[in-house]
Structure 1
Amino acid sequence: MTLIDLSHVITAGMTTYPGLPGPEITPHLTREASREVYAPGVEFAIDRITMVGNTGTYLDSPFHRYEGGTDLAGLPLTSVADLPTLVVRCSARAVDAVVLAAALADAPDPRGHAVLLHTGGDRHWGTPAYVDDAPYLSEDGATYLAEAGVALVGIDSVNIDQVTPEGYRPAHSILLAAEIPVLEHLTNLAAVPDTGGRLHAAPPPVRDFGTFPVRAYVVV
Protein backbone atom coordinates (compact mmCIF):
# COMPACT_ATOMS: atom_id res chain seq x y z
CA MET A 1 0.00 0.00 0.00
CA THR A 2 1.21 3.50 -0.90
CA LEU A 3 -0.14 6.76 0.53
CA ILE A 4 0.16 9.83 -1.74
CA ASP A 5 -0.32 13.21 -0.08
CA LEU A 6 -2.16 15.75 -2.25
CA SER A 7 -2.28 18.67 0.20
CA HIS A 8 -0.38 21.93 0.51
CA VAL A 9 1.05 22.71 3.94
CA ILE A 10 -0.76 25.50 5.83
CA THR A 11 1.53 28.15 7.32
CA ALA A 12 0.85 31.45 9.06
CA GLY A 13 0.18 34.31 6.64
CA MET A 14 0.23 32.15 3.50
CA THR A 15 -1.76 33.17 0.42
CA THR A 16 -4.13 30.57 -0.97
CA TYR A 17 -6.34 32.81 -3.08
CA PRO A 18 -5.34 36.45 -3.71
CA GLY A 19 -7.51 38.84 -1.73
CA LEU A 20 -8.37 36.37 1.01
CA PRO A 21 -6.57 36.73 4.35
CA GLY A 22 -3.89 34.24 5.30
CA PRO A 23 -4.22 32.15 8.44
CA GLU A 24 -3.19 33.61 11.79
CA ILE A 25 -1.58 31.05 14.11
CA THR A 26 -1.06 32.17 17.71
CA PRO A 27 -0.58 30.46 21.07
CA HIS A 28 -3.53 30.06 23.40
CA LEU A 29 -1.47 28.31 26.06
CA THR A 30 2.31 28.27 25.69
CA ARG A 31 4.45 25.41 26.95
CA GLU A 32 6.05 27.76 29.42
CA ALA A 33 2.71 28.92 30.84
CA SER A 34 1.40 25.35 31.00
CA ARG A 35 4.12 24.40 33.48
CA GLU A 36 2.20 26.33 36.10
CA VAL A 37 -0.92 24.22 35.46
CA TYR A 38 0.47 20.66 35.25
CA ALA A 39 2.71 18.47 37.33
CA PRO A 40 6.48 18.97 37.25
CA GLY A 41 7.94 17.87 33.93
CA VAL A 42 4.53 17.96 32.18
CA GLU A 43 3.83 20.66 29.60
CA PHE A 44 1.44 21.20 26.68
CA ALA A 45 0.94 23.67 23.85
CA ILE A 46 -2.58 24.72 22.87
CA ASP A 47 -2.65 26.93 19.81
CA ARG A 48 -5.28 29.00 18.04
CA ILE A 49 -5.75 29.33 14.28
CA THR A 50 -7.94 31.95 12.63
CA MET A 51 -8.56 31.43 8.92
CA VAL A 52 -11.14 31.49 6.19
CA GLY A 53 -12.45 28.13 5.04
CA ASN A 54 -10.76 28.63 1.66
CA THR A 55 -7.25 27.97 2.96
CA GLY A 56 -4.70 25.52 1.61
CA THR A 57 -6.15 22.43 -0.04
CA TYR A 58 -9.87 22.59 0.75
CA LEU A 59 -13.21 21.05 -0.08
CA ASP A 60 -16.31 22.94 -1.25
CA SER A 61 -19.71 21.64 -0.18
CA PRO A 62 -22.97 22.71 -1.90
CA PHE A 63 -23.57 25.19 0.97
CA HIS A 64 -20.59 27.18 -0.33
CA ARG A 65 -22.59 28.10 -3.43
CA TYR A 66 -26.23 27.63 -2.46
CA GLU A 67 -28.21 28.80 0.54
CA GLY A 68 -29.85 25.70 1.91
CA GLY A 69 -27.33 23.44 0.18
CA THR A 70 -25.67 20.56 2.00
CA ASP A 71 -23.11 21.91 4.46
CA LEU A 72 -19.92 20.27 5.69
CA ALA A 73 -21.76 18.53 8.51
CA GLY A 74 -24.33 17.15 6.07
CA LEU A 75 -21.88 15.62 3.61
CA PRO A 76 -21.98 11.83 3.82
CA LEU A 77 -18.57 10.23 4.22
CA THR A 78 -19.33 8.22 1.11
CA SER A 79 -19.02 11.43 -0.92
CA VAL A 80 -15.55 12.39 0.34
CA ALA A 81 -13.78 9.21 1.51
CA ASP A 82 -12.59 5.93 -0.04
CA LEU A 83 -13.58 7.06 -3.55
CA PRO A 84 -12.09 5.29 -6.58
CA THR A 85 -10.00 7.79 -8.55
CA LEU A 86 -9.67 8.70 -12.20
CA VAL A 87 -6.86 11.15 -12.99
CA VAL A 88 -7.26 13.25 -16.14
CA ARG A 89 -3.95 14.59 -17.51
CA CYS A 90 -4.71 18.00 -19.01
CA SER A 91 -2.41 19.96 -21.32
CA ALA A 92 -5.11 22.42 -22.41
CA ARG A 93 -5.83 25.43 -20.20
CA ALA A 94 -9.57 24.84 -20.46
CA VAL A 95 -10.54 21.32 -19.47
CA ASP A 96 -13.67 20.88 -21.57
CA ALA A 97 -15.99 18.04 -22.50
CA VAL A 98 -13.88 17.07 -25.52
CA VAL A 99 -10.75 16.78 -23.38
CA LEU A 100 -12.59 14.77 -20.75
CA ALA A 101 -14.24 12.43 -23.25
CA ALA A 102 -10.87 11.67 -24.84
CA ALA A 103 -9.11 11.23 -21.52
CA LEU A 104 -11.78 8.95 -20.07
CA ALA A 105 -12.45 6.93 -23.23
CA ASP A 106 -10.36 3.97 -22.07
CA ALA A 107 -11.03 4.46 -18.35
CA PRO A 108 -13.66 2.72 -16.23
CA ASP A 109 -17.14 4.20 -16.06
CA PRO A 110 -16.56 7.49 -14.14
CA ARG A 111 -19.83 7.17 -12.21
CA GLY A 112 -19.10 7.20 -8.50
CA HIS A 113 -15.44 8.14 -9.02
CA ALA A 114 -13.39 11.10 -7.86
CA VAL A 115 -12.16 12.74 -11.06
CA LEU A 116 -8.89 14.57 -10.41
CA LEU A 117 -7.76 17.11 -13.01
CA HIS A 118 -3.98 17.11 -13.26
CA THR A 119 -3.10 20.41 -14.95
CA GLY A 120 0.31 21.06 -13.41
CA GLY A 121 -0.92 24.38 -12.08
CA ASP A 122 0.39 23.52 -8.62
CA ARG A 123 3.97 24.06 -9.76
CA HIS A 124 3.27 27.80 -9.48
CA TRP A 125 1.86 27.57 -5.93
CA GLY A 126 2.83 30.59 -3.84
CA THR A 127 3.77 32.76 -6.83
CA PRO A 128 1.81 35.30 -8.96
CA ALA A 129 1.87 32.80 -11.83
CA TYR A 130 -0.44 30.53 -9.84
CA VAL A 131 -3.32 32.88 -10.69
CA ASP A 132 -2.31 34.16 -14.12
CA ASP A 133 -4.03 32.20 -16.91
CA ALA A 134 -4.69 29.36 -14.48
CA PRO A 135 -6.17 26.08 -15.79
CA TYR A 136 -9.87 25.52 -15.11
CA LEU A 137 -12.86 23.30 -15.84
CA SER A 138 -15.14 24.72 -18.53
CA GLU A 139 -18.92 24.90 -18.26
CA ASP A 140 -19.46 22.07 -20.73
CA GLY A 141 -16.78 20.05 -18.94
CA ALA A 142 -18.61 20.47 -15.63
CA THR A 143 -21.87 19.45 -17.31
CA TYR A 144 -20.17 16.38 -18.78
CA LEU A 145 -18.95 15.24 -15.36
CA ALA A 146 -22.24 15.98 -13.62
CA GLU A 147 -24.18 13.99 -16.21
CA ALA A 148 -21.65 11.16 -15.88
CA GLY A 149 -22.54 10.89 -12.19
CA VAL A 150 -19.06 11.40 -10.74
CA ALA A 151 -18.77 11.57 -6.95
CA LEU A 152 -16.24 14.41 -6.62
CA VAL A 153 -14.10 16.64 -8.83
CA GLY A 154 -10.68 17.97 -7.85
CA ILE A 155 -8.10 20.22 -9.52
CA ASP A 156 -4.50 21.29 -8.82
CA SER A 157 -5.23 24.90 -9.70
CA VAL A 158 -6.27 28.16 -8.03
CA ASN A 159 -9.94 27.68 -8.91
CA ILE A 160 -11.99 25.03 -10.65
CA ASP A 161 -13.62 27.91 -12.55
CA GLN A 162 -12.04 30.43 -14.86
CA VAL A 163 -11.49 33.54 -12.77
CA THR A 164 -13.13 36.45 -14.60
CA PRO A 165 -13.96 40.01 -13.50
CA GLU A 166 -17.64 39.29 -14.17
CA GLY A 167 -17.65 36.65 -11.45
CA TYR A 168 -19.30 33.81 -13.36
CA ARG A 169 -18.61 30.44 -11.78
CA PRO A 170 -20.36 27.81 -13.92
CA ALA A 171 -18.28 24.82 -12.79
CA HIS A 172 -19.02 25.49 -9.12
CA SER A 173 -22.66 26.13 -9.91
CA ILE A 174 -23.16 22.96 -11.93
CA LEU A 175 -21.20 20.54 -9.77
CA LEU A 176 -22.44 21.77 -6.39
CA ALA A 177 -26.04 21.86 -7.63
CA ALA A 178 -25.58 18.17 -8.45
CA GLU A 179 -24.27 17.50 -4.89
CA ILE A 180 -20.75 16.86 -6.23
CA PRO A 181 -18.11 18.24 -3.83
CA VAL A 182 -15.25 20.23 -5.31
CA LEU A 183 -11.65 19.82 -4.15
CA GLU A 184 -9.33 22.73 -5.02
CA HIS A 185 -5.60 23.48 -4.70
CA LEU A 186 -4.45 19.89 -4.96
CA THR A 187 -0.80 19.06 -5.48
CA ASN A 188 1.34 16.04 -6.38
CA LEU A 189 -1.18 14.54 -8.81
CA ALA A 190 1.73 13.45 -11.01
CA ALA A 191 2.40 10.74 -8.41
CA VAL A 192 -1.14 9.33 -8.62
CA PRO A 193 -1.81 6.59 -11.20
CA ASP A 194 -4.52 7.22 -13.79
CA THR A 195 -6.74 4.60 -12.16
CA GLY A 196 -6.70 2.26 -9.18
CA GLY A 197 -6.37 4.73 -6.30
CA ARG A 198 -8.79 5.56 -3.49
CA LEU A 199 -9.21 9.21 -2.48
CA HIS A 200 -9.80 10.42 1.07
CA ALA A 201 -10.59 14.13 1.57
CA ALA A 202 -13.00 14.39 4.51
CA PRO A 203 -13.45 17.81 6.16
CA PRO A 204 -14.56 18.27 9.77
CA PRO A 205 -18.38 18.22 10.09
CA VAL A 206 -18.97 21.93 10.72
CA ARG A 207 -22.63 23.01 10.69
CA ASP A 208 -23.62 25.95 8.45
CA PHE A 209 -20.16 26.07 6.86
CA GLY A 210 -19.34 25.59 3.21
CA THR A 211 -15.58 25.08 2.82
CA PHE A 212 -12.73 23.76 4.94
CA PRO A 213 -9.14 22.54 4.51
CA VAL A 214 -8.63 18.80 4.21
CA ARG A 215 -5.67 16.44 4.31
CA ALA A 216 -6.35 14.96 0.88
CA TYR A 217 -4.53 11.76 0.02
CA VAL A 218 -4.80 8.76 -2.27
CA VAL A 219 -4.28 5.16 -1.23
CA VAL A 220 -2.81 2.93 -3.93
Structure 2
Amino acid sequence: MTRLIDLSVTTRSTPSEATPVTVDLLDHRTGATVLGLTPEDFPDGMAISNETVTLTTHTGTHMDAPLHYGPLSGGSPAKSIDQVPLEWCHGPGVRLDVRDVPPGEGITTDHLEAAFKEAGHEPVPGDIALLWTGADRLWGGAEYLREFPGLTGEGTAYLVERGIRVIGIDAWGLDRPMHRMIEDYQHTGDNAHLWPAHIYGRTAEYLQLEKLAHLGDLPAATGFTICCFPVAVEGAGAGWTRVVALVEDAAP
Protein backbone atom coordinates (compact mmCIF):
# COMPACT_ATOMS: atom_id res chain seq x y z
CA MET A 1 0.00 0.00 0.00
CA THR A 2 1.36 3.41 -0.99
CA ARG A 3 1.31 6.11 1.68
CA LEU A 4 1.83 9.79 0.80
CA ILE A 5 3.78 12.11 3.10
CA ASP A 6 3.54 15.83 2.38
CA LEU A 7 6.98 17.44 2.68
CA SER A 8 5.77 20.97 1.86
CA VAL A 9 4.82 24.02 3.89
CA THR A 10 1.57 25.89 3.32
CA THR A 11 2.03 29.01 1.23
CA ARG A 12 0.81 31.90 3.37
CA SER A 13 1.71 35.24 4.88
CA THR A 14 4.05 34.55 7.81
CA PRO A 15 7.14 36.04 9.49
CA SER A 16 9.00 33.02 8.11
CA GLU A 17 8.80 34.53 4.62
CA ALA A 18 11.31 37.23 3.72
CA THR A 19 8.90 38.81 1.22
CA PRO A 20 5.19 39.65 1.57
CA VAL A 21 2.39 37.31 0.55
CA THR A 22 -1.06 38.74 -0.15
CA VAL A 23 -4.24 36.90 -1.04
CA ASP A 24 -7.17 38.98 -2.32
CA LEU A 25 -10.43 37.05 -2.28
CA LEU A 26 -13.22 37.41 -4.79
CA ASP A 27 -16.03 35.79 -2.80
CA HIS A 28 -18.91 33.72 -4.13
CA ARG A 29 -21.45 36.55 -4.19
CA THR A 30 -19.13 39.19 -5.65
CA GLY A 31 -18.02 36.69 -8.25
CA ALA A 32 -21.41 37.01 -9.92
CA THR A 33 -20.96 40.72 -10.57
CA VAL A 34 -17.75 40.31 -12.59
CA LEU A 35 -19.75 38.07 -14.92
CA GLY A 36 -22.38 40.77 -15.41
CA LEU A 37 -24.92 38.85 -13.34
CA THR A 38 -26.25 38.98 -9.79
CA PRO A 39 -25.88 36.41 -7.01
CA GLU A 40 -29.59 35.67 -7.29
CA ASP A 41 -29.03 34.43 -10.86
CA PHE A 42 -27.13 31.43 -9.42
CA PRO A 43 -28.30 28.44 -7.38
CA ASP A 44 -28.14 29.21 -3.65
CA GLY A 45 -27.50 32.88 -4.45
CA MET A 46 -23.80 32.25 -5.03
CA ALA A 47 -21.53 32.23 -8.07
CA ILE A 48 -17.93 30.97 -7.91
CA SER A 49 -14.96 32.40 -6.04
CA ASN A 50 -11.43 33.33 -7.07
CA GLU A 51 -8.21 34.51 -5.44
CA THR A 52 -5.50 36.90 -6.63
CA VAL A 53 -2.19 35.97 -5.00
CA THR A 54 0.89 38.19 -4.95
CA LEU A 55 4.16 36.47 -4.06
CA THR A 56 7.60 35.61 -5.40
CA THR A 57 8.56 32.36 -7.10
CA HIS A 58 10.71 31.64 -4.02
CA THR A 59 7.77 31.81 -1.61
CA GLY A 60 6.73 28.64 0.17
CA THR A 61 8.15 25.26 -0.77
CA HIS A 62 9.74 25.77 -4.16
CA MET A 63 12.36 24.54 -6.61
CA ASP A 64 15.30 26.66 -7.76
CA ALA A 65 16.29 26.11 -11.37
CA PRO A 66 19.84 26.61 -12.75
CA LEU A 67 18.83 30.01 -14.13
CA HIS A 68 18.49 31.27 -10.55
CA TYR A 69 22.21 30.74 -9.97
CA GLY A 70 23.39 32.54 -13.12
CA PRO A 71 22.82 32.82 -16.88
CA LEU A 72 25.17 29.93 -17.65
CA SER A 73 25.61 26.50 -16.12
CA GLY A 74 28.57 24.39 -17.20
CA GLY A 75 29.16 26.80 -20.08
CA SER A 76 25.65 26.39 -21.54
CA PRO A 77 22.54 28.55 -21.12
CA ALA A 78 21.05 27.79 -17.72
CA LYS A 79 17.66 26.11 -17.68
CA SER A 80 14.66 28.07 -16.44
CA ILE A 81 12.11 26.30 -14.28
CA ASP A 82 9.87 25.45 -17.24
CA GLN A 83 12.83 23.78 -18.97
CA VAL A 84 13.68 21.44 -16.09
CA PRO A 85 13.35 17.79 -17.22
CA LEU A 86 10.49 16.15 -15.38
CA GLU A 87 12.60 12.99 -15.08
CA TRP A 88 14.84 14.85 -12.61
CA CYS A 89 11.84 15.53 -10.36
CA HIS A 90 10.88 11.94 -9.55
CA GLY A 91 13.25 9.45 -7.99
CA PRO A 92 14.50 7.61 -4.93
CA GLY A 93 14.91 9.82 -1.89
CA VAL A 94 17.59 9.70 0.78
CA ARG A 95 17.23 11.65 4.01
CA LEU A 96 20.57 12.88 5.30
CA ASP A 97 20.51 13.59 9.03
CA VAL A 98 22.60 16.72 9.61
CA ARG A 99 20.73 17.89 12.70
CA ASP A 100 23.99 18.02 14.65
CA VAL A 101 25.30 20.90 12.51
CA PRO A 102 24.73 24.11 14.52
CA PRO A 103 22.62 26.95 13.09
CA GLY A 104 24.68 29.31 10.97
CA GLU A 105 27.39 26.74 10.26
CA GLY A 106 28.20 24.96 7.02
CA ILE A 107 27.20 21.42 6.12
CA THR A 108 30.48 20.00 4.84
CA THR A 109 31.53 16.97 2.86
CA ASP A 110 32.46 15.26 6.13
CA HIS A 111 28.93 15.83 7.45
CA LEU A 112 27.45 14.39 4.26
CA GLU A 113 29.69 11.32 4.27
CA ALA A 114 28.74 10.64 7.88
CA ALA A 115 25.04 11.06 7.09
CA PHE A 116 25.24 8.66 4.13
CA LYS A 117 27.04 6.14 6.34
CA GLU A 118 24.35 6.49 9.02
CA ALA A 119 21.69 6.00 6.35
CA GLY A 120 23.44 2.85 5.14
CA HIS A 121 23.41 4.20 1.60
CA GLU A 122 25.96 5.09 -1.07
CA PRO A 123 24.88 8.01 -3.28
CA VAL A 124 23.96 6.99 -6.81
CA PRO A 125 22.89 9.02 -9.86
CA GLY A 126 19.22 9.95 -9.70
CA ASP A 127 19.02 10.07 -5.91
CA ILE A 128 17.10 13.03 -4.47
CA ALA A 129 19.01 14.15 -1.37
CA LEU A 130 17.05 15.73 1.49
CA LEU A 131 19.03 17.57 4.17
CA TRP A 132 17.31 17.07 7.53
CA THR A 133 18.31 20.00 9.73
CA GLY A 134 15.17 20.14 11.89
CA ALA A 135 14.77 23.86 11.12
CA ASP A 136 11.17 23.38 9.97
CA ARG A 137 10.16 23.36 13.66
CA LEU A 138 10.68 27.15 13.49
CA TRP A 139 8.26 27.63 10.59
CA GLY A 140 5.83 30.43 11.41
CA GLY A 141 8.31 32.67 13.25
CA ALA A 142 10.98 35.14 12.21
CA GLU A 143 13.76 32.95 13.64
CA TYR A 144 13.12 30.55 10.73
CA LEU A 145 14.97 33.06 8.53
CA ARG A 146 18.14 32.95 10.65
CA GLU A 147 18.47 29.72 12.63
CA PHE A 148 19.61 26.95 10.32
CA PRO A 149 22.81 25.47 8.88
CA GLY A 150 23.51 25.63 5.16
CA LEU A 151 25.26 23.53 2.56
CA THR A 152 28.80 24.53 1.62
CA GLY A 153 30.00 24.82 -1.97
CA GLU A 154 32.21 21.77 -1.47
CA GLY A 155 29.26 19.84 -0.07
CA THR A 156 27.18 20.80 -3.10
CA ALA A 157 29.91 19.60 -5.45
CA TYR A 158 30.18 16.33 -3.52
CA LEU A 159 26.50 15.58 -4.14
CA VAL A 160 26.24 16.82 -7.74
CA GLU A 161 29.42 15.06 -8.85
CA ARG A 162 27.78 11.80 -7.75
CA GLY A 163 24.86 12.32 -10.08
CA ILE A 164 22.42 13.90 -7.64
CA ARG A 165 20.34 16.43 -9.57
CA VAL A 166 18.00 17.52 -6.77
CA ILE A 167 19.09 18.67 -3.30
CA GLY A 168 16.45 19.66 -0.76
CA ILE A 169 16.55 21.22 2.71
CA ASP A 170 13.97 21.77 5.45
CA ALA A 171 15.10 25.36 5.98
CA TRP A 172 14.64 28.81 4.47
CA GLY A 173 17.53 28.35 2.05
CA LEU A 174 20.16 25.84 0.97
CA ASP A 175 23.08 28.14 1.80
CA ARG A 176 23.82 29.38 5.30
CA PRO A 177 21.62 32.21 6.62
CA MET A 178 21.99 35.41 4.63
CA HIS A 179 23.21 37.50 7.55
CA ARG A 180 26.00 35.02 8.36
CA MET A 181 27.31 34.92 4.80
CA ILE A 182 27.30 38.71 4.50
CA GLU A 183 29.00 39.15 7.89
CA ASP A 184 31.77 36.73 6.93
CA TYR A 185 32.27 38.48 3.59
CA GLN A 186 32.46 41.90 5.22
CA HIS A 187 34.95 40.66 7.81
CA THR A 188 37.24 38.88 5.33
CA GLY A 189 36.63 40.51 1.95
CA ASP A 190 36.39 36.99 0.49
CA ASN A 191 33.32 36.72 -1.75
CA ALA A 192 33.56 32.92 -1.64
CA HIS A 193 31.42 33.27 1.51
CA LEU A 194 28.47 34.55 -0.57
CA TRP A 195 25.94 31.88 -1.61
CA PRO A 196 28.54 29.18 -2.45
CA ALA A 197 25.95 26.40 -2.86
CA HIS A 198 23.90 28.47 -5.29
CA ILE A 199 26.94 29.69 -7.21
CA TYR A 200 28.22 26.15 -7.65
CA GLY A 201 25.23 25.78 -9.98
CA ARG A 202 27.16 27.89 -12.51
CA THR A 203 29.65 25.02 -12.73
CA ALA A 204 27.21 22.11 -12.97
CA GLU A 205 23.43 22.21 -13.18
CA TYR A 206 21.32 20.97 -10.31
CA LEU A 207 18.02 21.84 -8.61
CA GLN A 208 17.31 22.98 -5.07
CA LEU A 209 14.21 22.33 -3.01
CA GLU A 210 13.89 24.90 -0.27
CA LYS A 211 11.46 25.16 2.66
CA LEU A 212 10.74 21.46 2.97
CA ALA A 213 8.99 20.16 6.08
CA HIS A 214 8.15 16.97 7.98
CA LEU A 215 11.31 15.06 7.05
CA GLY A 216 11.05 13.50 10.49
CA ASP A 217 7.79 11.85 9.41
CA LEU A 218 9.65 9.66 6.92
CA PRO A 219 9.85 6.12 8.31
CA ALA A 220 13.53 5.70 7.40
CA ALA A 221 16.43 7.37 5.64
CA THR A 222 15.72 5.48 2.41
CA GLY A 223 13.01 3.31 0.87
CA PHE A 224 10.75 6.07 -0.45
CA THR A 225 10.22 7.93 -3.71
CA ILE A 226 10.13 11.71 -4.05
CA CYS A 227 7.80 13.57 -6.42
CA CYS A 228 8.66 17.27 -6.77
CA PHE A 229 7.20 18.72 -9.96
CA PRO A 230 7.49 22.54 -10.10
CA VAL A 231 4.92 24.90 -11.59
CA ALA A 232 6.24 25.77 -15.06
CA VAL A 233 6.57 29.56 -14.89
CA GLU A 234 7.96 30.51 -18.28
CA GLY A 235 11.48 31.93 -18.13
CA ALA A 236 11.59 31.97 -14.31
CA GLY A 237 14.41 30.89 -12.01
CA ALA A 238 12.11 29.06 -9.60
CA GLY A 239 8.65 27.58 -9.28
CA TRP A 240 6.31 26.59 -6.47
CA THR A 241 6.47 22.87 -5.77
CA ARG A 242 4.35 20.38 -3.83
CA VAL A 243 6.90 17.87 -2.60
CA VAL A 244 5.53 14.45 -1.67
CA ALA A 245 7.19 11.25 -0.50
CA LEU A 246 5.68 7.94 -1.63
CA VAL A 247 6.22 5.22 0.94
CA GLU A 248 5.40 1.59 0.24
CA ASP A 249 4.02 0.09 3.42
CA ALA A 250 3.50 -3.62 3.92
CA ALA A 251 -0.06 -4.71 3.21
CA PRO A 252 -2.14 -5.14 6.39
TM-score (norm 2): 0.79
Moved more, 93-102 or 179-188: 93-102
Offset at 1:161? 0.6
Which residue of the partner structure matches residue 23 of structure 2?
Answer: 25
* Aligned residue identity for 2:8: S
Query: 1:172-206: per-residue Cα shift (whole Å, max 9, x none)?
Result: 12246422100011110001221111111111111
Which residue of the partner structure matches residue 197 of structure 2?
Answer: 171
Q: Secondary structure of the equivalent of 1:154?
A: strand
Structure 1 runs not aligned, ≥5 long: none
Q: Secondary structure of the equivalent of 2:140?
A: coil
Aligned residue among 235, 242, 250 for 1:215: 242
Which residue of the partner structure matches residue 9 of structure 2?
Answer: 8
Which residue of the partner structure matches residue 188 of structure 2?
Answer: none
- CA 1:211–1:137 in structure 2 vs 1: closer, same or farther (change >3 Å)? same
Q: Secondary structure of the equivalent of 2:53?
A: strand
Offset at 1:64? 1.0
1:64-143 to 2 correspondences below 5 Å: 64-67=68-71, 68-80=77-89, 82-90=90-98, 91-93=100-102, 94-105=106-117, 106-143=120-157
Q: Distance in 2 between matches of 1:125 and 1:4?
A: 18
Identity in percent: 26
Q: Distance in 2 between matches of 1:177 and 1:78?
A: 21
Which residue of the partner structure matches residue 204 of structure 1?
Answer: 231
Query: 1:134-169: per-residue Cα shift (whole Å, max 9, x none)?
Result: 211112211111111102000011211112214711
Count of aligned residue pairs for this structure pair = 215
Aligned residue among 50, 53, 57 for 2:57: 53
TM-score (norm 1): 0.90
How big is the alpha-carbon RMSD for the aligned residues of Structure 1 and Structure 2?
1.9
Give the structure with the higher percent helix: 2
Structure 2 runs not aligned, ≥5 long: 72-76, 186-192, 248-252
- CA 1:33–1:117 in structure 2 vs 1: closer, same or farther (change >3 Å)? same
Query: 1:71-92: per-residue Cα shift (whole Å, max 9, x none)?
Result: 0110011111x21101001111
Q: Distance in 2 between matches of 1:96 and 1:111?
A: 20
- CA 1:37–1:66 in structure 2 vs 1: closer, same or farther (change >3 Å)? farther
